[in-house]
Amino acid sequence: MDKSWNKFFEREKEQEYFKNLLSRLDEEYNNKIIYPEKENLFRAFKETKLDDVKVVILGQDPYHEEQQATGLAFSVPGGLKLPPSLKNIFQEIENEYNYLMLNNGDLTYLARQGVLLINAFLSVEAHKPLSHHFKEYEIFISHLFSYLNNVDHPIVYMLWGNFAKKFAKLISNPNHLVIKRNHPSPLSANKGGWFNQNTFIECDNFLLSKGLKPIDWKNY
**DSSP per position, 76-93:** --TTSPPPHHHHHHHHHH
Burial 28-67 (b: 16+ CB within 10 A, else e): beeeeebbbeeebbebbbebbbbebbbbbbbbbbbbbeee
One of 52, 61, 152, 216 is an active-site residue; which one? 61
How do the residues of the chain divide into helix, strand and coil, expressed in percent and rounded to 5? 45, 10, 45
CA-CA distance, 70 to 186, in Å (whole number)? 22
Query: Can you tell me whether residue 67 is helix, strand or coil?
Result: coil
DSSP state of 214: P
Known active-site residue 51: no
Q: Is residue 142 a contact partner of residue 98, using CB atoms and an 8 Å limit?
A: no
Q: Is residue 35 a contact partner of residue 62, using CB atoms and an 8 Å limit?
A: yes
Angle, CA 174 vertex, CA 169 and CA 180 arms, to 5°: 45
Active site residues: 61
